[in-house]
Structure 1
């Protein structure tokens, strides 16, 4: 609820404004002196202040300066008995959002002045939300990097998967936006691993069945971390489904074929290839590049999208990582 502080040396005006705004559903408090207003502003933390310029103890202009110094986000509407251009300019310079000249109608306050203040409040909230979103996004990427720094066996894994995913997207001629999304999602695809105990994350032996079920939850945890961010909605879905299989036997939702987001299907191939060609705590790398490619081909239409496997093979051949003639 929006809270309003009303400050005027005429207590009658204070009461009229208080009754009017409380009828409209606002929470209000009133003061007839400057010091009292500053104390209330500090205690009640109002969103909006109606402030008379002429007060008996401290000038309204001084009260305005102190309120804005204490909390720059508070909106202040100055009340004056005269349409004095210089004083109005001074008030605006000190942070006043608007002014009204006595006498004024209550409906004018409601329809004109408050509408302007609402717009300012909305812009503040939108800016604050964007700053929080940007900060949260930066934190997420930092956490992903920190997670890999903790685990020497997977260090560099997300960067490689991101590059492979981007290479596939380029090979397919996807849009710049799709390329950015899939490369960023790949960087964050294991962010859900932060929920895993170090004992599991760095285990030097095969996982037990129970531990495998715990590890599988990293897709959902990653999704939950990212889906609260407006700018990461698509990334969240890609990460949730990057362990699904074309035949529907993947996890966490047993989606199959085109039910799986297209960019998730790209990430699945990039992730699987790097997993096969990289060392793990419990094993050496199990495949050379050509052996990993043969495994991808073997699982076309079962685990992997055939068209995307073909695109990735073209990528590896162009980079001279494999020679197509050696594919079985």
Structure 2
């Protein structure tokens, strides 16, 4: 099963990090990775594809225009089957609580521990595949 992941972060170097850390999995066709620098561009992408081929969104919280919480609310309303992992430089209970209350599946702080992130992703999607 290939996992289609969308990453949203307004900092270009973060998108580059995702590409580097998922390079092996992309090459092995275990995942596809699409990166966006704004919530709006991600939502346009999802709308153009009716959200059907995206299983997971990795979403930064602090972004200009539309923050990650707004993206999370919109995704959960329009595409409830897409899992959203929130990513933030802030490790505080307020952000974590808000993310969970809006439907986030996971919450990671920056700098992202990519070993832990990959483990969470593959554990979840392998469990989901095995229970189907």
Same fold? TM cut 0.5: yes
Quote the residue 1:67 is aligned against.
Answer: 75
What is the distance in 2 between the residues matched to 1:38 and 1:57? 13
What is the distance in 1 between the residues matched to 2:125 and 2:35? 21
Structure 1: 4+ residue segments shifted above 6 A: none
TM alignment of 1:37-56, pairs within 5 A: 37-44=42-49, 45=51, 46-56=54-64
Quote the residue 2:107 is aligned against.
Answer: 99
> How many residue pairs get matched?
124
Quote the residue 2:15 is aligned against.
Answer: 14
Post-superposition offset of 1:96? 0.5
Post-superposition offset of 1:116? 4.8
TM alignment of 1:1-328, pairs within 5 A: 1-24=2-25, 25=29, 26-44=31-49, 45=51, 46-111=54-119, 113-118=120-125, 121-122=128-129, 126=132
Match of 2:21, SS?
helix
Quote the residue 1:314 is aligned against.
Answer: none
Structure with bigger strand share is 2
CA contact (8 A) 1:54 1:60 kept: yes
Once the two structures are superposed, what CA deviation does each residue of 1:12-50 show, in whole Å capped at 9, x if it has no partner?
A: 111220232242131111111111111122235310000
C-alpha distance 50-8 of structure 1, shift in aligned 2 (>3 A): same
RMSD: 1.9
Match of 1:95, SS?
coil
C-alpha distance 68-116 of structure 1, shift in aligned 2 (>3 A): farther
What is the distance in 2 between the residues matched to 1:120 and 1:59? 30
Structure ID, larger Rg: 1
Higher relative contact order structure (alpha carbons within 8 Å, sequence separation ≥ 6): 2
Once the two structures are superposed, what CA deviation does each residue of 1:94-124 show, in whole Å capped at 9, x if it has no partner?
A: 111001100123212112x21453267448x
Structure with bigger helix share is 1
C-alpha distance 99-42 of structure 1, shift in aligned 2 (>3 A): same
What is the distance in 2 between the residues matched to 1:110 and 1:10? 21
User: TM-score by structure 1 length?
Assistant: 0.35
User: TM-score by structure 2 length?
Assistant: 0.83
Q: Which runs of 5+ in 1 are unaligned?
A: 127-328
Q: Which runs of 5+ in 2 are unaligned?
A: none
What is the distance in 1 between the residues matched to 2:86 and 2:22? 17
C-alpha distance 120-73 of structure 1, shift in aligned 2 (>3 A): farther
